[in-house]
Amino acid sequence: MKQGNIHFCGVGGQGILLASELTAHALLAAGFDVKKSEVHGMAQRGGSVEAHLRFSTSKVYSPLIEPGTVDIMLAFEMMEAVRYLPLLNAKSTVIVNTQKIAPPAVATGKMVYPDQCLDALTSQGITVVPVDAFAIARKVGKLKAVNVALVGVLSRYLPMDEATWIEVIKKRLPAKILDVNLQAFHEGRKAGK
Amino acid sequence: MTPKKSDAEKLWFSGNEALALGAFEASVAVASGYPGTPSTEILENLSAYKSVYSEWAPNEKVALEVAIGASFAGVRALSTMKHVGLNVAADPLFTASYTGVRGGLVIVVADDPSMYSSQNEQDSRNYAYAAKLPMLEPADPGEAKEFLKLAYQISEQFDTPVLLRSCTRVAHVKGVVSKGEIQKSSVTPGLVRNPAQMVMLPAHARGRRIAIAERQQKLAEFAETWAENRVETGDRAMGIIAAGTSYLYAKEAFPNASFLKLGMVNPLPEKMIRDFASKVEALYIVEDLDPFIEMRVKAMGIACIGKEKIPAIGELSPSVVRKAITGETGGAIFAPVDLPPRPPNMCAGCPHRGLFYNLNRLKVFVSGDIGCYTLGALPPLSAMDACVCMGASIGMAHGMAKALGEDGLGKVVAVIGDSTFIHSGLNSLINTVYNKSYSTVIILDNRITAMTGQQPNPASGSTIMGEPANSIDFPELCRAIGVKHVRTVNPHDIESTYAVLKEEIERPEPSVVITRFPCVLTPAEKKRPKTSFTSITEKCTGCGMCLRLGCPAINWVPLSPEETKAMGKKEKQKGYALINETTCIGCGQCLALCKFEAISTGEGK
């Protein structure tokens, strides 16, 4: 893998930025040039959140992923995976946390959460890897570890070895939450591929 | 092929972190700014460098004036703000151009094309032209750091404030940044009297106006040979002039084209542009927002293609640039799927929610302001009817009162956050009292500047450096201005807030209601032990009252007629409300709305 585009998406507050940070550091440790674009401010308040990560063995110019060029999507919520469909192509792999978070219009009963929404991806030939990261997080005893569990799944699809990832996680996470997160990473890795 | 490991230790920094490092490496001594996405994290990161004095000012005008003062005292000074903040700071900016500097003075301004977190998408480059100041425009975090250091050299060499234009895709993009040398100022700190340059009496200003013209000439010559204005020779069939992130997008879209990459967007290197234009067959100007470079290139009499193809609205990207120039979309792209939207929402337990619920009930016209609470405009709260700029709510409400006279009494309120009130609402409150209005001003005091990520302000009781500080006493302040009726309420207490609001809104005199409760994201509030509420499904009638709060911790669960029957509910019940215990923090607002005792406070559990 000489270059790639990874798209992270989900709902503000799910730990998307941390997941993208860990991934960026693992890619940097492997010697890739990396650029990542995030959105802060008002958009973060429970809204749809995304991060674009691009890596290459040569220089990365644009920090933005072009439509139709995502190699791997790490979606923290099902409907959010579908929202960014225009970024995908038939060869994309979508790792998706099978969690449903109701947006305001659904939570107030004005609209319905789309049934079987991932069909919109599979019907285009896109490879979808569903993961119950919330169950993993519950199993390791820390609900907030959803993000690191998903990073564990993602690690299966990137060229770095396991040791590189573990080193990055150890370096980036505070000691008191390290063990549960390492467990979440391992469980995620087991769930992937 | 596996990539090579880099030998030098590199930093993984956002543009804002890189700018903070750049300020440190440039030996900046004083930095002052006001939070505003996407500029906020520059000062937040800079405050971690203890050799630099950093502060949050009440607004951008004050911040720039602080920086000007520091520069006059002979140290390097920085002021940071978002694009709309530069409007507030425009007054000192234009005249600081006349005074020039002692210590280097740089103003970092962060634009927000596509308005990810802003009320407009103005192009700050126009300020550089209008104020006759040099402006540098970096493309990524690595350049941001280097350009800031270069900006200080230019500032001191040419006796000028320098503008550095950032944007969302520099500020919040992360990339590889290398640590550099510490650069020292050549200026000796201390007070030097130089009234002809520092006291802008008309007679002095006339002299300085000529000095500016000379400076502009010198800077234009400097731009011709400055290394960050550079030509990348490629295919001569297509030549592109671009700066900042637009250069990256164009480079990605047309890797083989010839480029004139501009590091300085004002003044422009005319000879260099003429030379470049003469060597390429078709000349394109790729720039986001206004045709800033294009108009100047056209004024030079050089044929080029710009905004007739490149969009002037919204941020550019490689695909936007490619499609604009070639018409190619880059292969089959899947069409978007129609989905329920997911707009940002106030947090579960946000104190603002209780206020907006009440304002909706009161059916008043809400003159709003800038902050998280602007989200009060969205359904189901739908309780904001106007919002223009920082601090505008109070002046607009007063204007409405004057326009409507007696007919408007009891119909208009202004809503403004604590930080926004201090930023630029205070003067308007003075006006409201002085010019005998009747409007009610509601100060949403959540103790912090919340939307930009919990920055302390003059009411918070601490500084950016983490030191304890004075906390403004809002009731005393309002009384000192001359407001006779000042009430403080807890917005989580729905019914008493309603009663106070009703009384004050109907009052034919100016009044202030302070809704005081800390933002749920403040560190102290996060630590405070809380008990989540639970919904009692057996008692829930599905009336939907609690859903009117739009709280993300309350979800509607629809029921089929069979399910309704199986649960022993009345036939017409279409569903029930369910509290998500992992997100609920037990603020109590919904409890006041439920008439069926279907919410348990969790006490005793």
Q: How many domains does chain A have?
A: 1
User: pLDDT by residue (tens digit) across B371-389?
Assistant: 999 999 999 999 999 999 9
Phi and psi based region of residue B133 (left: phi greater than 0; alpha: psi -120 to 50; beta: remaining): beta
Residue B403 within a domain: yes
B575 and B519 part of one domain:
no
Q: Is A142 on the interface with B (CB under 8 A)?
A: no
**Strand pairing of B511-516 and B440-445?**
parallel
Tell if the CB–CB gap between A57 and B1 is shorter than 8 Å. yes
pLDDT higher than threshold 50 for residue B533: yes
Tokens matching residue B354: 């209780």
Q: Is A79 on the interface with B (CB under 8 A)?
A: yes
CA neighbor of B34 nearest in space, from B96, B75, B89, B90:
B89
In the stretch 18-37 of chain A, residues with CB closer than 8 A to chain B read 24-25, 28, 30-37
B181 CA: distance to closest CA in chain A (Å):
23
The secondary structure of residue B406, as a DSSP letter, is G
B57 and B196 part of one domain:
yes
- CB atoms inside a 10 Å sphere around CB A141: 11
pLDDT higher than threshold 70 for residue B6: no
Tell if the CB–CB gap between B345 and A104 is shorter than 8 Å. yes
B379 and B450 part of one domain:
yes
CA neighbor of A11 nearest in space, from B451, B344, B551, B585:
B344
- Alpha-carbon distance values, B587 to B219, B442, B491, B517, B549 (Å): 58, 20, 10, 11, 12
Tell if the CB–CB gap between B344 and A12 is shorter than 8 Å. yes
CATH number of the structural domain spanning residue B372: 3.40.50.970
Tokens matching residue B119: 């009320």
- Alpha-carbon distance values, A160 to B3, B176, B538 (Å): 11, 19, 52
pLDDT higher than threshold 60 for residue B579: yes
B72 and B148 part of one domain:
yes
Q: Is B335 on the interface with A (CB under 8 A)?
A: yes
Dihedral (Cα; B83, B42, B54, B514), 10-degree rounding: 60
Q: Using CA atoms, how far apart are residues B538 and A46, in angstroms rounded to an integer?
A: 29
Tell me the pLDDT band of B519, cut-offs 50, 70 and 90.
very high
Q: Give contacts of A107 with chain B, Cβ < 8 Å.
A: 547, 550, 552, 554-556
Q: Which of B198, B225, B252 is the last residue of a domain?
A: B225
pLDDT for residue A41: 60
A97 CA: distance to closest CA in chain B (Å):
17
Tell if the CB–CB gap between A102 and B555 is shorter than 8 Å. yes
Tokens matching residue A1: 């893998």
- The kind and range of the H/E element at B366 are strand B365-367
CATH number of the structural domain spanning residue A102: 3.40.920.10
- B425 Cβ contact partners less than 8 Å away, ≥ 6 residues apart: B369, B391, B393, B394, B416, B441, B443
Identify the closest residue of chain B to A111 by CA–CA distance: B340
A148 CA: distance to closest CA in chain B (Å):
19
Residue B343 within a domain: no
pLDDT higher than threshold 70 for residue B605: no
Tell if the CB–CB gap between B6 and A80 is shorter than 8 Å. no
Rounded to 5°, the CA angle B107-B113-B119 comes to 85
Mean pLDDT of chain B: 95
Note down the domain range covering A113. 3-191
Residue given tokens 């570890």 in the structure block:
A145
Residue given tokens 């409201």 in the structure block:
B432
Q: Using CA atoms, how far apart are residues B312 and B308, in angstroms rounded to an integer?
A: 9
Tell if the CB–CB gap between B248 and A114 is shorter than 8 Å. no
Q: How many domains does chain B have?
A: 4
Average pLDDT on B70-79 reads 98
pLDDT for residue B9: 62
pLDDT higher than threshold 70 for residue B59: yes
Q: Using CA atoms, how far apart are residues A20 and A148, in angstroms rounded to an integer?
A: 10
User: At how many degrees (to 10) do helices A133-140 and A178-191 cross?
Assistant: 140
Residue given tokens 């739009």 in the structure block:
B550
Q: Is B365 on the interface with A (CB under 8 A)?
A: no
Residue B4 within a domain: no
The secondary structure of residue B553, as a DSSP letter, is T
In the stretch 559-578 of chain B, residues with CB closer than 8 A to chain A read 574-575
B517 and B573 part of one domain:
no
CA neighbor of B169 nearest in space, from B108, B244, B79:
B244
Tell if the CB–CB gap between A40 and B453 is shorter than 8 Å. yes
pLDDT for residue B331: 66
pLDDT higher than threshold 80 for residue B483: yes
Tell if the CB–CB gap between B333 and A105 is shorter than 8 Å. no
Q: Are B413 and B441 in contact (CB under 8 A)?
A: yes
In the stretch 162-191 of chain A, residues with CB closer than 8 A to chain B read none
For the purposes of burial, counting CB atoms within 10 Å of the CB of B508, is it exposed (0-12), middle (13-18) or buried (19 or more)?
A: exposed
For the purposes of burial, counting CB atoms within 10 Å of the CB of B5, is it exposed (0-12), middle (13-18) or buried (19 or more)?
A: exposed
Tell if the CB–CB gap between A37 and B330 is shorter than 8 Å. no
In the stretch 442-461 of chain B, residues with CB closer than 8 A to chain A read 451-453
Q: Is B531 on the interface with A (CB under 8 A)?
A: no
For A37, the closest of B169, B336, B556 (CB atoms) is B169
Residue B334 within a domain: no
Q: Is B140 on the interface with A (CB under 8 A)?
A: yes
Tell if the CB–CB gap between B12 and A28 is shorter than 8 Å. yes
User: pLDDT by residue (tens digit) across B96-139?
Assistant: 999 999 999 999 999 999 999 999 999 999 999 999 999 999 99
B39 and B75 part of one domain:
yes
For chain A, residues with pLDDT lower than 70 are 40-44
Read off φ and ψ for residue B420, nearest 5 degrees.
Answer: -70, -35
Q: Give contacts of A4 with chain B, Cβ < 8 Å.
A: none
pLDDT higher than threshold 90 for residue B604: no
Tell if the CB–CB gap between A86 and B334 is shorter than 8 Å. yes
For A143, the closest of B252, B318, B582 (CB atoms) is B582
Tell if the CB–CB gap between B336 and A120 is shorter than 8 Å. no
Q: Are B534 and B602 in contact (CB under 8 A)?
A: yes
Note down the domain range covering B482. 351-526
In this predicted model, which residue has the larger pLDDT, B65 or A12? B65
pTM score, two decimals?
Answer: 0.96
Residue B199 within a domain: yes
pLDDT for residue B211: 98
pLDDT higher than threshold 90 for residue B307: yes
For A41, the closest of B337, B452, B550 (CB atoms) is B452
B204 and B301 part of one domain:
no
Identify the closest residue of chain A to B579 by CA–CA distance: A107
In this predicted model, which residue has the larger pLDDT, A133 or B603? A133
Q: Is B347 on the interface with A (CB under 8 A)?
A: yes
Dihedral (Cα; B129, B133, B137, B142), 10-degree rounding: -170
B253 and B167 part of one domain:
no
B421 and B544 part of one domain:
no
Half-sphere CA count of B203, side-chain side, radius 13 A: 2
B86 and B194 part of one domain:
yes
B267 and B383 part of one domain:
no
Residue B388 within a domain: yes
For the purposes of burial, counting CB atoms within 10 Å of the CB of B251, is it exposed (0-12), middle (13-18) or buried (19 or more)?
A: buried
Q: Where are the alpha helices (DSSP H) in B284-391?
A: 292-299, 318-326, 351-362
Cis check for the bond before B92: say yes or no (omega within 30 of 0): no
Q: Give contacts of B2 with chain A, Cβ < 8 Å.
A: 30-31, 159
Residue B6 within a domain: no
CATH number of the structural domain spanning residue B270: 3.40.50.920
pLDDT for residue A44: 62
Cis check for the bond before A63: say yes or no (omega within 30 of 0): no
B582 and B477 part of one domain:
no
Q: Is A16 on the interface with B (CB under 8 A)?
A: no
CATH number of the structural domain spanning residue B577: 3.30.70.20
Q: Give contacts of A44 with chain B, Cβ < 8 Å.
A: 344
Beta bridge partners of B578: B555
For B317, the closest of A66, A104, A110 (CB atoms) is A66
Residue given tokens 């009345």 in the structure block:
B570
Tell if the CB–CB gap between A34 and B175 is shorter than 8 Å. yes
Tokens matching residue B145: 């750091």
For the purposes of burial, counting CB atoms within 10 Å of the CB of B597, is it exposed (0-12), middle (13-18) or buried (19 or more)?
A: exposed
Residue B336 within a domain: no
Tell me the pLDDT band of B328, cut-offs 50, 70 and 90.
confident
